[in-house]
């Protein structure tokens, strides 16, 4: 089924130009080969009459096409999963986001990925209603969409790791190796071991010391601003910027999923020529590679759709077309750092965060200089002695906010990830002591990946917009919906003419209350 809203001639022109702006926005299936590709694929351009165009990879696979081993559709940026349009479209995109985000199901055991019935239950609708609106939006059923996601996740593990096939199957959401093998043969016409051999031949890949993955993004992308954002906030022991001809960023991380905890490190660089992020991950995280990749996509905002965003924001921020919204690989960590950063400068918040890591962070060995600790776990912070926190320079009111946040996260009542329900999470955050609107909106912007978050009380934002007060800032932002998170970052990167200091170092407006 070809998605009707796609303009085939425009798609073919983008394919001929290998235009990375459209990467992940559609896929081209070639009838003479039975293979579907990304628009950026470097193979010889097929004849127009042999091409079919699909909005989603799941549609191409449902039509009987196999993914290209060269351009690897699983590496393409994901399509937008937010909408302010009609309720049915919003619900369908929410369902897709729950399928796309493995962190939405942290308690699922290996091989127990959610099915359509569980997704419908999470959204509060019937299975039948979800299938109807999902098929209207995506052209495939939730089960077909989910199956494609599982297969593409498995394909990436097969290509980029040496994990045994049993682990590949379970990590990708298959309940058994038998079902995994059957799905592969049915969809791709060869078994997983044969695909691994074919991929090694195609890519010249052999056994490597660490996992290496390429993840595509759509230009323009101000990667220098992104790396600088993380570098200026880097906590000692946990993260470090990587200087050089191709600047990058490295950090440690902890992934808890299905009752098991995995720890390790990652490093990432931006390949501007290929419009790709080059991700290297420690072997200790191989079993949760789909989760790590999803988190890195969010951290670097690799799935952003600049053409849609710039259509709304370019007139107001003409120099900000490539600016993205920095995310996080750990929603709890981001929330803690947001609380620590209330009413103080970036440098002061970095100092407090580094002290917290030194006192409560678990040691870890890595091959990267400067990466020696994990960020403190929710349990470690929840159980910390208040006197110890006080000696770090964390005032009592902020201690209460941090430990309440840690307890809610530790006990599973608060989930801070891209698959979370935004309105409910905002309410839960603001019900905690010491967390007001600014902090909640900032967390929604970076941890929940909500593109329309807007911390109107931020003093630096108000100055950049040339307005006085939160109400005036909120009124000024209405024309930027649903991309106000991007407007915030662009405003921070565009200080007013009379500014004498960097707006990102200005005090933030959220007062800590008890």
Q: Which positions are catalytic? A: 37, 458
Residues 6+ apart with CB under 8 A from 2: 8, 52, 53, 54, 59
Residues 6+ apart with CB under 8 A from 148: 56, 57, 58, 61, 62, 140
Q: What span, in angstroms and rounded, lies between the C-alpha atoms of 153 and 183?
A: 13
Q: Which of 358, 411, 417 is nearest to 383 (CA)?
A: 411
CA 247 to chain centre: 20
Both tokens assigned to 258: 């299905």
Q: What span, in angstroms and rounded, lies between the C-alpha atoms of 324 and 300?
A: 8
Quick one: the chain helix, strand, coil %, rounded to 5? Answer: 50, 10, 40
Total Cβ atoms within 10 A of residue 385: 9
Both tokens assigned to 92: 């369908």
Question: By the 8 A CB rule, do 139 and 59 touch?
Answer: yes
Q: What span, in angstroms and rounded, lies between the C-alpha atoms of 193 and 53?
A: 29
Question: Considering all CA atoms of the chain, what is the largest pairwise distance in Å, rounded to the nearest integer?
Answer: 72
Q: What is the dihedral of CA 213, 219, 220, 221, to 10 degrees?
A: -10
Q: What span, in angstroms and rounded, lies between the C-alpha atoms of 108 and 454?
A: 32
CA quadruple 201, 204, 206, 212: dihedral sign: negative
Question: By the 8 A CB rule, do 387 and 359 touch?
Answer: no
240 has which bridge partners?
250
HSE on the CB side for 334, CA within 13 Å? 26
Which helix (H) or strand (E) segment holds residue 355: the answer is: helix 346-360
Query: Are β-strands 211-216 and 35-37 bridged in parallel, bridged antiparallel, or unpaired?
Result: unpaired
Helix (H, G, I), strand (E, B) or coil at 425: helix
Q: For residue 208, is the peptide bond before it cis, meaning its omega torsion is within 30 degrees of 0?
A: no
Both tokens assigned to 16: 């001929």
């Amino acid at each position: 089924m070809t998605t009707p809203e796609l303009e085939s001639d425009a798609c073919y022109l983008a394919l001929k130009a290998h235009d990375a702006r459209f990467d992940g926005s559609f896929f081209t299936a070639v009838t003479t080969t039975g293979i579907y590709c990304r628009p950026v694929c470097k193979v010889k351009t097929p004849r127009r009459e042999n091409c079919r165009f699909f909005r989603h990879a799941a549609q191409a696979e449902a039509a009987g096409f196999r993914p290209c081993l060269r351009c690897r559709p699983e590496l393409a940026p994901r399509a937008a999963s937010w909408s302010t349009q009609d309720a049915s479209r919003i619900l369908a995109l929410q369902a897709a986001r729950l399928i796309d985000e493995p962190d939405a199901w942290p308690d699922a055991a290996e091989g127990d990925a959610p099915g359509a019935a569980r997704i419908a239950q999470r959204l509060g609708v019937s299975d039948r209603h979800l299938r109807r609106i999902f098929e209207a939006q995506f052209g495939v059923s939730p089960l077909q969409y989910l199956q494609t996601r599982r297969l593409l996740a498995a394909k990436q593990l097969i290509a980029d790791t040496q994990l045994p096939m049993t682990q590949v199957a379970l990590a990708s959401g298959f309940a058994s190796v038998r079902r995994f093998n059957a799905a592969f043969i049915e969809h791709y016409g060869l078994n997983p071991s044969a695909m691994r051999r074919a991929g090694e031949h195609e890519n010249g890949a052999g056994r490597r010391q660490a996992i290496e993955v390429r993840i595509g993004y759509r230009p323009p992308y101000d990667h220098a601003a992104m790396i600088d954002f993380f570098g200026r906030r880097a906590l000692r022991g946990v993260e470090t910027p990587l200087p050089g001809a191709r600047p990058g960023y490295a950090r440690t991380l902890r992934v808890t999923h299905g009752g098991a905890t995995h720890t390790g490190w990652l490093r990432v660089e931006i390949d501007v020529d290929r419009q790709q992020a080059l991700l290297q991950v420690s072997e200790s995280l191989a079993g949760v590679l789909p989760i790590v990749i999803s988190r890195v996509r969010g951290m670097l905002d690799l799935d952003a759709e600049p053409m849609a965003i710039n259509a709304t924001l370019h007139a107001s921020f003409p120099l900000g077309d490539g600016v993205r919204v920095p995310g996080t690989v750990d929603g709890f960590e981001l929330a803690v750092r947001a609380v620590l950063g209330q009413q103080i400068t970036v440098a002061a918040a970095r100092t407090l965060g580094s002290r917290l890591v030194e006192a409560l962070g678990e040691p870890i060995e890595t091959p990267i200089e400067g990466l020696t600790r994990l960020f403190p776990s929710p349990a470690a912070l929840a159980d910390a002695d208040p006197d110890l926190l006080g000696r770090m320079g964390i005032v009592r009111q902020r201690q209460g906010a941090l430990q309440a946040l840690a307890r809610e996260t530790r006990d599973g009542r608060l989930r801070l990830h891209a698959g979370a329900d935004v309105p409910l999470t905002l309410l839960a955050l603001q019900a905690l002591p010491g967390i007001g609107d600014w902090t909640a909106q900032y967390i929604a912007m970076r941890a929940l990946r909500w593109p329309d978050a807007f911390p109107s009380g931020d003093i630096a934002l108000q100055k950049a917009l040339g307005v006085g007060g939160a109400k005036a800032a909120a009124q000024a932002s209405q024309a930027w919906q649903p991309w106000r998170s991007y407007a915030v970052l662009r405003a921070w990167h565009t200080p007013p003419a009379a500014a004498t200091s960097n707006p990102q170092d200005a005090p933030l407006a959220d007062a800590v209350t008890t």
